[in-house]
Amino acid sequence: MHNVRVVYRKYDQRLHWHQVMRYLGEDSYGVWLGAPPNSVSQRGEEPEVLHSQAHVQLFPRDRWYTAIFNDEPRSTEIYCDITTPVTFGETEFTMIDLDLDVVKKRDGTVYVDDEDEFSEHQLQFGYPQEVIEAARKECDWLIRAVTTEELFLTTYKTYLDKVR
């Protein structure tokens, strides 16, 4: 297993969230990376953030999202970022964060976060109409999928077991 640097940027190319994760494998859903307990991530140049629980991340091919699956006791079970499709490299995955997030809490609550930021950035960065439509379509699908699709119900647990 090798390490992969995960790099999210904003539409203006500013560095957003980034971290190093371990390659876990690939299946029909996409490429899976993992981080054990006490790993770190960083937003831009801000101080590193320590993650006390393990988590895995899915990077689908040709889709407009990525998904983080957190181990217990974290209250957020699943956190999906709406992004441009991932650019896959051997040692680095990159994508543009398009602001919208679909969140599933461990109690089953599902909501969309950062809709205000998505609206603001459409004007500020001039998101093309096709980007706006793709982001909305993916967000609408994820709102339903996180509670109904096998990927979000059990599949991720196999990968999470590898980094606990």
**What HEC string does the chain produce?**
CCEEEEEEECCCCCEEEEEEEEEEEEECCEEEEEECCCEEEEECCCCCEEECCCEEEEECCCCCEEEEEECCCCCEEEEEEEECCCEECCCEEEEEEEEEEEEEECCCCEEEECHHHHHHHHHHHCCCHHHHHHHHHHHHHHHHHHHHCHHHHHHHHHHHCCCC
Q: How much is the pTM?
A: 0.96
What pLDDT, on the 0 to 100 scale, is given for residue 100?
Answer: 98
What pLDDT, on the 0 to 100 scale, is given for residue 56?
Answer: 99
Full set of structural domains in the chain with CATH: 3-160 (2.40.380.10)
What pLDDT, on the 0 to 100 scale, is given for residue 162?
Answer: 97
Query: What's the average model confidence in pLDDT over 55-72?
Result: 98
Query: What's the average model confidence in pLDDT over 64-80?
Result: 98
Residue 156 has pLDDT above 80, yes or no: yes
What pLDDT, on the 0 to 100 scale, is given for residue 1?
Answer: 76
Residue 93 has pLDDT above 80, yes or no: yes
